Amino acid sequence: MVFFTPPVKLRLWITVAGEPYFVIVSYLHCIHLSPHSVKKHLWGISVKRRAIILSICFLGMILTAFQGVRPARAIQVQQSGKPNPQIEKILGEISSTNIEAIIRKLVSFGTRHTLSSQDDPARGIGAARRWIREEFDRYSRESGGRLQITEDEFIQEPTQRVPQPAKLVNVVATLPGTQGESKDRIYLVSGHYDSCVCSQGMLDATSDAPGANDDASGTAAVMEMARVMSKYQFDATIVFMAVPGEEQGLLGATHWAENALKNKLNIGAMITNDIIGNTIGGNGVRDNARVRVFSEGVPSNESEAEARTRQSVGGENDSTSRQLARYIKETAELYLKNFNVTLIFRRDRYGRGGDHIPFLQRGFTAVRLTEPNEDFTRQHQKVREENGIKYGDVADMVDFAYVAQVARVNAAAMAGMALAPAPPLGVKFKSGRQEYDTYLTWQTGKEPDLAGYRIVWRETFQPLWQHSIDVGNVTEFVMRSLSKDDYIFAVQALDKDGNASLTSFPKSR
């Protein structure tokens, strides 16, 4: 058996002269452990066996060099391991051909700069917005009117990047939930439809700014999800949103998130898709088999009291956004066998930001999806060629099949969450004392199809959940001989069809 875990390692069982060895290969070292003697060193065995093991180590290092850094696929702990037929159908209907048509249409508007023309029928952000609205309206008709389309219009007051008041419009397509107990729970997915040539001029609203990858790719993924998923029913509500003003300071997303906070909307999770279309990086690396998910650890809105508690009992790696990221990885890898989700444990790329941040700042659960290898000569650049280098975010450099895969990652997670019960509330350790066992308690859910609960756990240094146990429809359970000193625990809710909620991390008593 061979598998990779970060850092790049090759692990395998081999048998030499009838004796089994566990060999670990990495760029830096190659060690072996024998079940018969863990203290046995490589130079303590016969020359023949040593030669065989060293040969395997050398081969393993060559294999890992060609493999590159590939995070291990998630063990199916949060999910039952049996795919949901409805989700499988949804993923099968997502079309790279449709995604390509959307991206090329958005590019055809010349520029989608937030300050570009609102009234030109063929060029500028106004024309792009009206076309997005028309497409959402068409999806609504095809779904029998179930998809509800609105425009969230507001006037953005002047900022450093917006010199005069400007009209901005979020285009919102809402698919209402069908279960009375769950329909007020909202799962939101977004992409930004504005573009710019910001590297040459932040306020340049007239030059061509095709924005094929940044972020027609994310907008196209959201629109294609809306087209497909609006034909299906979900317990909870799903919102598909195209926002402007991202390049000017996350303006559209900030406006919507602030209104969601003021109106006390129950946002279960938010996923933004930004730069998800390029599979050949500026570093020359081609990778069309994974996507990065960025999630913050310490919550952006953490209070002083919450910080003191976290410092006392831990949880730096178990924010609600980290739980969402783990859920996305495990769910996507259940359905997409040849596609990996790489968890990046930071809020966004180094020193950069995206439309999930206004939601995080207001206490909502949110993550960002982005391609693994960006090409910076394509981002925010005027279309041109200099010294043999082609600049500009053009459609021909987008891998449309890859965008479709990222859309499937989104759709699998969104559908899974919207079909499942709400995450358990009130998850706590029954006692704060030092104990050899771990006592967990939680509140029962209100959904009529609630079937029970699942406890997941992992060692404190592990990034992903390692183990799970279904405990039935109870509100407390004892994990025998597992100490909360040494393990991280969380609880999920399950429905009668096996759909599993996001995990809930225990609060300190």
* pLDDT tier at 18, thresholds 50, 70, 90: very low
* pLDDT tier at 9, thresholds 50, 70, 90: very low
For the cut 80, the answer to whether the pLDDT of residue 208 exceeds it is yes
pLDDT digits (tens, 9 = 90+) for 26-76: 433 444 344 443 344 445 566 666 677 667 656 655 554 444 445 568 788
Task: Please state, rounded to an integer, the average pLDDT across all residues of the chain.
Answer: 90
Q: For residue 465, what are the CA distances in angstroms to 79, 343, 460, 461, 468?
A: 11, 13, 10, 11, 8
Go through the domains of the chain in sequence order and give each one's CATH number: 2-67 (no CATH), 85-419 (3.40.630.10), 428-495 (2.60.40.10)
The residue whose two tokens read 């030499």 is 16
Which residue intervals of 398-445 are DSSP H helices?
A: 400-419
pLDDT digits (tens, 9 = 90+) for 426-446: 999 988 788 899 999 999 999
The per-residue pLDDT for 62 is 57
* 216-229 mean pLDDT: 98
* 486-499 mean pLDDT: 97
Name the 3-class secondary structure at 54.
helix
Tell me, what amino acid is at 143? S
The per-residue pLDDT for 272 is 98
For the cut 60, the answer to whether the pLDDT of residue 280 exceeds it is yes
The residue whose two tokens read 């007051």 is 157
Query: Cα-atom radius of gyration of the chain, to the nearest Å?
Result: 25
The per-residue pLDDT for 57 is 59
**Range of lowest pLDDT (12-21, 93-102, 293-302):** 12-21
* 275-300 mean pLDDT: 96
pTM: 0.86
Starting at the edge strand found earlier in the chain, the sheet holding 30-33 runs 2-5, 9-16, 19-26, 30-33
The per-residue pLDDT for 53 is 64
